[in-house]
Amino acid sequence: MRVELTIGNFLDRAAVALPDRVAIVDEPDGPGSLGAVTYGEMHARAASLASRLDELGVAHGARVAIVSPNSARFLIAFFGVSGYGRVLVPINFRLNEAEIAYILSHSGAEVLLYDPELEGVVEHVDVAHRVRLDGVDDIAFFGLDGMLGEPRAWAQDEDASCSINYTSGTTANPKGVQLTHRNCWLNAASFGWHLQVSDRDVLLHTLPMFHANGWGMPYAATAMGARHVVLRKVDGEEILRRVEREGVTLLCGAPAVVAMILDAAAKRAADGQHVPGRGEVRIVVAGAPPPRRVIEQVQDELGWEFVQIYGLTETSPLLTINRAPREWDELDSKERAALLGRAGVPAIGVELAIDVDGEILARSNHVFASYWNQPDETKKALEGGWFHTGDGGFLDGPYAVITDRRKDVIITGGENVSSIEVEDCLFQHPAVAEAAVIGVPDEKWGESVKALVVLREGQNATESELIEHCRSALAHFKAPRTIEFRSELARTATGKLQKFKLREPYWEGRERAIN
Ligand code: AMP
3-class DSSP state for residue 247? coil
Instruction: Assess whether the C-beta atom of 58 lies below 6 angstroms from ligand 1.
Output: no
CB 311 within 8 A of CB 320: yes
In this structure, what is the dihedral angle of CA atoms 316, 176, 374, 59, given to the nearest 10 degrees?
100
In-domain check, residue 258? no
In-domain check, residue 364? no
Instruction: Assess whether the C-beta atom of 322 lies below 6 angstroms from ligand 1.
Output: no
In-domain check, residue 417? yes
Identify which of 391, 399, 477, 478 to mutate to test ligand 1's pocket (most ligand atoms within 8 A of the CB): 391
In which domain, by residue range, is 156 found?
Answer: 1-179
In-domain check, residue 39? yes
Residue 242 Cα to ligand 1 middle (Å): 27
Q: pLDDT value at position 291?
A: 84
Closest CA to 46 of 151, 117, 137: 151
CB 413 within 8 A of CB 90: no
Domain with residue 40: its CATH number is 3.40.50.12780
Q: pLDDT value at position 170?
A: 67
Domain with residue 419: its CATH number is 3.30.300.30
In-domain check, residue 295? no
**Structural domain count of the chain:** 2
Q: pLDDT value at position 120?
A: 97
- Residue ending a domain, choose from 160, 179, 198: 179
Instruction: Assess whether the C-beta atom of 168 lies below 6 angstroms from ligand 1.
Output: no
Instruction: Assess whether the C-beta atom of 321 lies below 6 angstroms from ligand 1.
Output: no
Does pTM surpass 0.85?
yes
Q: pLDDT value at position 406?
A: 82
Per residue in 12-63, pLDDT (tens digit) is: 999 999 999 999 999 999 999 999 999 999 999 999 999 999 999 999 999 9
Residue 501 Cα to ligand 1 middle (Å): 22
In-domain check, residue 284? no
Q: What angle do CA 375, 104, 97 make, to 5 degrees?
A: 125
Instruction: Assess whether the C-beta atom of 212 lies below 6 angstroms from ligand 1.
Output: yes
Residue 439 Cα to ligand 1 middle (Å): 14
- Residue ending a domain, choose from 125, 147, 179: 179
Residue 287 Cα to ligand 1 middle (Å): 4
Instruction: Assess whether the C-beta atom of 165 lies below 6 angstroms from ligand 1.
Output: no
Per residue in 218-254, pLDDT (tens digit) is: 999 999 999 999 999 999 999 999 999 999 999 999 9
In-domain check, residue 401? no
Residue 315 Cα to ligand 1 middle (Å): 11
Q: Whose CA is nearest to atom 4 of ligand 1?
A: 312
What gap in Å lies between CA 261 and CA 229, rounded to an integer?
Answer: 17
Instruction: Assess whether the C-beta atom of 209 lies below 6 angstroms from ligand 1.
Output: no
Residue 288 Cα to ligand 1 middle (Å): 6
Closest CA to 275 of 233, 239, 251: 239
- Residue ending a domain, choose from 179, 194, 229: 179
Atom of ligand 1 nearest to the CA of 317: 4
Positions of the chain with pLDDT lower than 70, given as ranges: 170, 494
Instruction: Assess whether the C-beta atom of 447 lies below 6 angstroms from ligand 1.
Output: no
Instruction: Assess whether the C-beta atom of 416 lies below 6 angstroms from ligand 1.
Output: yes
In-domain check, residue 340? no
Task: Quote the DSSP letter at residue 385.
Answer: G
| Those residues with Cβ within 8 angstroms of residue 343's Cβ, 6 or more apart along the chain or in another chain | 289, 308, 309, 310, 320, 322, 393, 399, 400, 401, 402
Instruction: Assess whether the C-beta atom of 306 lies below 6 angstroms from ligand 1.
Output: no
Q: Whose CA is nearest to atom 21 of ligand 1?
A: 288
